[in-house]
Structure 1
Amino acid sequence: MRAWQDIDPVEEIPLLGGDVTVGVVRVGDTVRRPLGPHSPLVHALLRHLAQVEFDGAPRLLGVDERGREVLTYVEGEVAGRPRPGWIADEERLRSVARLLRRYDDAAVGFTPPPGSVPDAPAVDHPAVRAAALDEPELVGHVDVTPENVVFRDGAAVALIDFDLARPATRLDEVVNALTHWAPLAAPGDRDPLLSDVDVPRRCRLFADAYGLADDARGRLVDVAVLRSRKSWHVMRHRAEADGGGWARMWADGVGDVIRRREAWLVEHGPTITAALLDRSAAL
């Protein structure tokens, strides 16, 4: 990792929108982010993506004189808050799925360096253990929120903010993305622009564009329910142990949102699964 030095002082522009990481700024055509326990894994992953010529992620340039990682700035638009009118656009949804599939295919060949994967939060609960169903297939992004997808000309072109990258399955990746983009949420917890969308249809559109296998489609809702149960306990633990953005989200009621999502998934899961598996239905 080489040191990065600025030749000329450039204005730092705060980049807002993240729930946890603070201190992210744009400096010219670069982004500066604080280092953390995740950094060894993220840096190795970004180097791998560059080596395999995956163009849908920032490039790692080094560390600046203030000890911040330096990344290339990816031009485009992201869906901040309030959400833009295009957040419900189905073609954009498909493009997110295609980008995620390209990323997952590129990440399959990556082997994390020894000791680079941060320890998981020490949460010993049956719901957390039950969610560990499958062996990881790759190091997933696992944070495909609207804030972390860059669009150009109406299509998703890059993923940003790899701080939560971790060993995962392809199904984990799809469930995570659908949580935000379908969205898998009780209607009252969705953005107003997504409150009345056809969620089963959007799940099917995403799965088709990603190329999700039939066996994974049949398990998607069950995995989403298990992940929701695990998420509640992990979020509470991080709010108590780490504070900061985690505590703020918990205080704002994210735990209640997760519980409502779980109940909604249990109620509407059969309809979602039927849509995912009915290949004869025209979309």
Structure 2
Amino acid sequence: MNDQEIPMRGGRVTAGVVRLGDTIRRPITTDRSHVHTLLLHLEQQQFSGVPRFLGTDERNREILSFLPGNVPQDLDHFDDEQLSAAAALLRRFHDATVGLVRDEDGVTEVICHNDWGPPNAVFFDGLPMGIIDFDTIAPGLRLWDLGYSAFAWLNLGNPDYTGDEQIQRLFVAKGYGLKRCSAAAIAAYAVARQTALAVSGKTKGNADMAAWAESAAMWTVLNVTERLAPTGYGLMSRV
């Protein structure tokens, strides 16, 4: 076994994460018991798209199995097949977590990843095949997670794409395959996630993030959601 620690790079890597042989070692800086419970549950469900939790080492680091592949350096401009694969992988993840939640208030269906985007995807043979980084997991709605996923994978608000192009890509990305999670519903939740990110940016004093998220939300409303489910707001000039 190779005993050389190799720093992990690509995407948004947590400081101190290294590869050691066929394992990943990740510093534990906060309580991670909920993450460990999730990973162990997913293993029991035979969901292969996440690392396996193998315990902790002598330095109190998580030991996770290494997922073969790579995290993309280019975090934008994914093709239809890649977008569909990302949505399908999230669907399988959600389905495998149903047994971990209790929907007592009508707003809890699954465990949400809450940061499912290209920086947290492991690609193999050109397609997203693995999910990593579970810092933000929480019980919630499928559409809440899908909204952020659409925002992140399609980069909604990016002027490189027209509204027509993003609507077409959104229909492909709903390879999630659940009727109630329609393109219009996913787009509406994408705006909710963009708006939440803007609020978070203001709260944290990050004016650049807040401005970017607000701009993305407005673009998405005018160019996507108003065309999928018109409310009249889109009568304003489109961005």
Bin of the TM-score, shorter chain as denominator length: 0.7 to 0.9
CA gap of 1:91–1:270, structure 2 versus 1, over 3 A, is same
The Cα of 1:19 is off from its aligned counterpart by: 4.0
Q: Which residue of 1 aligns with 2:125?
A: 153
The secondary structure found in structure 1 opposite 2:6 is strand
Q: Which residue of 2 aligns with 1:125?
A: none
CA distance in 1 between counterparts of 2:38 and 2:97 reads 8
Is 1:266 aligned with 2:216? no
Mean Cα displacement is larger for which, 226-235 or 158-167? Answer: 226-235
Could you report, residue by residue, the CA deviation over 1:162-210 in whole angstroms, capped at 9, with x for unpaired residues?
Answer: 11111121101211111111222241xxxxxxx2371111111111x11
CA distance in 2 between counterparts of 1:172 and 1:218 reads 13
CA distance in 2 between counterparts of 1:212 and 1:218 reads 13
Q: Is the 8 A contact 2:28 2:62 kept in 1?
A: yes
Tell me which amino acid in the other structure corresponds to 1:256. A
The secondary structure found in structure 2 opposite 1:100 is helix
Is 1:100 aligned with 2:90? yes
The Cα of 1:148 is off from its aligned counterpart by: 1.2
CA distance in 2 between counterparts of 1:25 and 1:100 reads 25
CA gap of 1:108–1:44, structure 2 versus 1, over 3 A, is same
Q: Which residue of 2 aligns with 1:204?
A: 171
The secondary structure found in structure 1 opposite 2:218 is helix
**Aligned residue among 140, 151, 156 for 2:112:** 140
The secondary structure found in structure 2 opposite 1:88 is coil
Q: Which residue of 2 aligns with 1:176?
A: 148
The Cα of 1:83 is off from its aligned counterpart by: 4.5
CA distance in 1 between counterparts of 2:49 and 2:181 reads 28
The Cα of 1:264 is off from its aligned counterpart by: 0.6
CA gap of 1:220–1:196, structure 2 versus 1, over 3 A, is closer
Could you report, residue by residue, the CA deviation over 1:51-71 in whole angstroms, capped at 9, with x for unpaired residues?
Answer: 111111000011111111110
The Cα of 1:96 is off from its aligned counterpart by: 0.9
Greater relative contact order structure (CA < 8 Å, 6+ sep) = 1
Identity %: 35
- State how 1:206-225 maps to structure 2 within 5 Å: 206-207=173-174, 209-214=175-180, 216-225=182-191
Q: Is the 8 A contact 1:217 1:273 kept in 2?
A: no
Q: Is the 8 A contact 1:221 1:273 kept in 2?
A: no
The Cα of 1:255 is off from its aligned counterpart by: 1.9
Q: Which residue of 2 aligns with 1:54?
A: 47
- State how 1:182-193 maps to structure 2 within 5 Å: 182-187=154-159
* Structure-1-length-normalised TM-score: 0.71
Q: Which residue of 2 aligns with 1:227?
A: 193
Tell me which amino acid in the other structure corresponds to 2:172. L
Could you report, residue by residue, the CA deviation over 1:2-47 in whole angstroms, capped at 9, with x for unpaired residues?
Answer: xxxxxx7722211134547321111111111122435111110000
CA distance in 1 between counterparts of 2:16 and 2:183 reads 38
CA gap of 1:66–1:215, structure 2 versus 1, over 3 A, is closer
CA distance in 2 between counterparts of 1:71 and 1:265 reads 37
Q: What is the RMSD of the two structures over their aligned residues, measured on CA atoms?
A: 2.5
Mean Cα displacement is larger for which, 156-165 or 228-237? Answer: 228-237
Mean Cα displacement is larger for which, 102-111 or 228-237? Answer: 228-237
CA gap of 1:42–1:215, structure 2 versus 1, over 3 A, is closer
Structure 2: gaps of 5 or more residues: 231-239
CA distance in 2 between counterparts of 1:88 and 1:166 reads 27
CA distance in 1 between counterparts of 2:180 and 2:42 reads 28
Q: Is the 8 A contact 2:147 2:188 kept in 1?
A: no
CA distance in 2 between counterparts of 1:273 and 1:212 reads 18
